[in-house]
Amino acid sequence: MNLNDRGISLMHEFEGLRLNAYLCPAKIPTIGWGNTKYENGQSVKMGDSITKERADELFKNIADDFAKGVRRLITVTLTENQFGALVSFAYNLGLGNLQRSTLLKKVNANPNDPTIRDEFLRWTRAGGRVLQGLVRRRQAEANLYFAN
């Protein structure tokens, strides 16, 4: 299972590219394509800046790490779109949240279960409130998950 272009495009669309550190809706310093940490585990700090080339490199390295993490959690065969949707979910919310989720349990029980769509849509809150950007992202991830 590999992170395909559709998964990467979805992640880029929702993360957006910012070359100067900013606070995401959860108030965490973020840079590039939604990265909160660098490859060495060091946290992004306000005041950090990078080039587009560095942002692309950072994204690839961090996304690859998330893809490896998702591969470890999946016990069934998935399509590339299903895998890409789950990597996007984990990239945004963390592997720990995916690991503890009913979403993962349902995927591993039956990756074609139509109620998986509802599980994506349960993850739309940040700071205790529903964010429309997260609603749109979860809908896009669910649509990718069920795309042919």
Which of these ranges, 8-17, 34-43, 121-130, has the smallest mean pLDDT? Answer: 121-130
CA distance 144 to 148: 8
15 is catalytic: yes
Kindly report the average pLDDT of the chain as a whole number.
96
Q: For residues 96-114, give the mean pLDDT.
A: 98
Confidence band of 128 (pLDDT split at 50, 70, 90) = confident
Print burial letters for 80-101: b (CB count within 10 Å at least 16), e (below 16). bbbbbbbbbbbbbbebeebeeb
Confidence band of 137 (pLDDT split at 50, 70, 90) = very high
pTM of the entire predicted model: 0.94
Give me the catalytic one of 13, 15, 57, 80. Answer: 15
The pLDDT value recorded for residue 126 is: 83
5-145 classified as CATH 3.30.70.270: no
Q: Domain residues of the chain, as ranges?
A: 5-145
The share of the chain scoring above pLDDT 90, in percent, equals 93
Residue 62 CB contacts under 8 Å (≥ 6 apart), including other chains: 35, 37, 39, 91
Helix (H, G, I), strand (E, B) or coil at 124: coil
Helix (H, G, I), strand (E, B) or coil at 18: strand
CA distance 23 to 2: 30
The pLDDT value recorded for residue 3 is: 95
Taking only the tens place, the pLDDT of each residue in 40-92 is 999 999 999 999 999 999 999 999 999 999 999 999 999 999 999 999 999 99
Strand partners, 81: none
Q: Give yes or no for a contact between 140 and 14, defined as CB atoms under 8 angstroms apart.
A: yes
Q: For residues 11-29, give the mean pLDDT.
A: 94
Q: For residues 33-44, give the mean pLDDT.
A: 96
